[in-house]
Amino acid sequence: MRAPCLLVWLSSVAAAASHESWSTTVSSEAGRLLEAAHALRTVDQHNATALYTQITAMGDAAATRKALYALGDLAFPSAAAQSLFEQSAALGHAGAQHTLALLAAVDDATPSLATSVLYDAFSAAGGDSRAAQTLGYRSLYGLGAPLSCAAALQYYKQQAAIVVREGAAMVAGQWRKPISLVDDDDRNPTLDQYKLTYVAASAISSKDGKVLFRAAKHLLQRGNIDFLLVRHWLVLALTFGETPAAAYLGHFYAFGWGGPINYAKALAAYLIAKDAKGGEALLGIGLLYLHGHGVAQSTELALEHFDKAALQGHAEAMYYVARILTSKKQLSLAARYYEAASKSGHALGMHAYAGLIEKTSIHPFLRTCALAVTLYKRVSEASVHPWLDRAHAAFHRGDHATSFLLYRLVAEEGYTTALDNALWLVHEGYVVASDAVRHRLVERAAAQGSGLGKLLQADAWLKAGDHKRALVAYASLVTTKTLSYKHIAPAYYSLGYMHEMGLGVLRSRAQALEYYRQSIAVERRVQLPIELWTWKWALLDVLRSVLGESSWWV
């Protein structure tokens, strides 16, 4: 898809304003039809499309731009979607403008980051938070915009605040982690559902409360949660003697998951599981006391329960301990709890910790900014992105081209997992990309700390004969223990090969063998290929002995 020239788009905005008698607010009739169409779109796209089309003929600009964007979204990624997004953008729809910005950036024929940035500037001014997030990403890495940590910090801080505000309520599944094809390409959400149902049925048959409880927790971390089914499994798990299940039943009552709120029943359920490992019930009791729900409000009792849960490693409890300590002006101790919650991946904890770093850091601004913006970026990407789910679904139904496009679009917003997945699709041969596209994906992924990106970048340097940079890159990979074994093992092997062949280093059979052994230790499946590779040394030595030659390297 090709993004239109911005000047053409601006002229279309002016034409729409001067030649059409549009209303500026959604009329009651158009609003009613919009709500009906939105409700239908996931279950009856044909009739939803008909309603959206009807709205576009009602002369209501506010409703029309929303309907056109929805039509484009339903038609995506067909060629018709591009035109619909352009029409919606011309009427001022910020989401459509942002979509065109992303499409401009990934256009295979004429990619233009400058056009993308301009579209997003209009979109962000119109209130689209993802456009602002994308501008932050561009500023952070200097992609089509001046490299500026200060600008990136401003944009990411804005988006992180939105994510935190929307995530303030405890909603099941809201912090689902995106699926990484690099590490988990066999994970199919549809098949996972069937597997969970099968496992649960087997657990019910054998009255295995522990397995049934695990299945219920897995189901709670998925989209479109069937709360009635999860609750049924939890009740049975508790009946079978799995006490920790009571803590999650307490959440159902405390937060109204799939039913009315009942704080008395929530407290009763939490008390059943308060001594269970993990601290989930203690967190629930602490929240009841903190907010005075069904009990007399008591910050001290809340802190007591939160602290007990935090000592068991519960990240959410760490966050609430830090909040209470902050209110007591115990900022140094609060910072430790925020940091601990942050290291556990807790989005709200990361947001609060980033704020503390900004306020209390003694480092120069650039160092402080680098620390804070990294946390704000992680918070911004913590909420579920709908396009990631669509991309993963497309991959598993065999529509690799659509999956690749969606991952690339989300990657333009800065999401590392999306970037990794797009690169993986190219690397594994699911899609064919030009050398320029592949190079951009590798370069950006490596810059963001991706194990796959760093490995492929090092491989490219080795192939090009840039042995010095390749050696440094491989060494960095094997010393970064947070990376996947899938990237560390090949890096060890490449280091061994470079020492065996004397590429950028002195030839050393002993050093090469050590790296090969390290590769095997990380990934046992490469043991036989590496042993076959090293056996050639013995054959070469025998051959040289027969020829009367000495071994040419040790």
**DSSP codes, 182-230:** HHHTT--HHHHHHHHHHHHHHHHHHT-HHHHHHHHHHHHTSSS--HHHH
pLDDT at 292: 97
pLDDT at 190: 57
pLDDT at 3: 43
Both tokens of residue 376?
A: 């704000």
Residue with tokens 């309520």: 169
Instruction: For residue 90, give the nearest of 1, 2, 27, 6 by alpha carbon.
Output: 6
pLDDT at 17: 37
Crossing angle of helices 129-141 and 113-125, rounded to 10°: 140
pLDDT at 554: 46
Cβ burial, residue 514 (10 Å; 0-12/13-18/19+): middle
pLDDT at 59: 87
Both tokens of residue 44?
A: 């009856």
- Does the domain at 6-166 match CATH 1.25.40.10? Answer given as yes
Same fold, 6-166 and 187-380: yes
Q: Which residues of the chain have pLDDT under 50?
A: 1-24, 552-554
pLDDT at 226: 86
Q: Where are the domains of the chain?
A: 6-166, 187-380
Task: Domain 187-380: give its CATH code.
Answer: 1.25.40.10
Q: Which CB contacts under 8 angstroms, 24+ apart, belong to 261-270? A: 263/288, 263/293, 263/294, 263/295, 264/294, 266/293, 266/294, 267/294, 267/295, 270/246
pLDDT at 533: 67
DSSP state of 143: S
pLDDT at 42: 84
